[in-house]
Amino acid sequence: EPEVTQTPSHQVTQMGQEVILRCVPISNHLYFYWYRQILGQKVEFLVSFYNNEISEKSEIFDDQFSVERPDGSNFTLKIRSTKLEDSAMYFCASSESGRTGYTFGSGTRLTVV
């Protein structure tokens, strides 16, 4: 079964540092997403990406966040200057067409200290 792969699985960073979370979506998928989940809470939408541009972003996705698809396979989320409240699980997801269930990756646990 095809998978969405995320690296690293766990990252610890100092407050104010930049982090890049990496994802390899399923190869024939066209829609890409980032979600986050603060410990014990629901999964929240961050950003959607289609045709090499952002389709929609949430209020959480402020100027400190950016996404990129630098080549045909990777999809990255960058947090420019991390804050303590950025600590969460970050999930990448992809879908073949928009209106089908996504496949989520296993997530990157980001801990900001």
Partner 1 sequence: GQQLNQSPQSMFIQEGEDVSMNCTSSSIFNTWLWYKQDPGEGPVLLIALYKAGELTSNGRLTAQFGITRKDSFLNISASIPSDVGIYFCAGQMSGGSNYKLTFGKGTLLTVNP
Q: Residue holding tokens 């045909």? A: 72
How many Cα atoms sit within 13 Å of 73 on the Cβ side? 6
Report if residue 107 touches partner 1, rule: CB under 8 A.
Answer: yes
Which of the stretches 13-21, 62-70, 79-87, 96-104 binds partner 1 when contact is defined by CB under 8 A? 96-104
Report if residue 87 touches partner 1, rule: CB under 8 A.
Answer: no
Q: What is the DSSP letter of 52?
A: T
Which of the stretches 12-20, 34-42, 63-71, 73-81 binds partner 1 when contact is defined by CB under 8 A? 34-42
CB 101 → partner 1: shortest distance, Å? 4
CA dihedral 4, 9, 15, 19 (to 10 degrees): -40
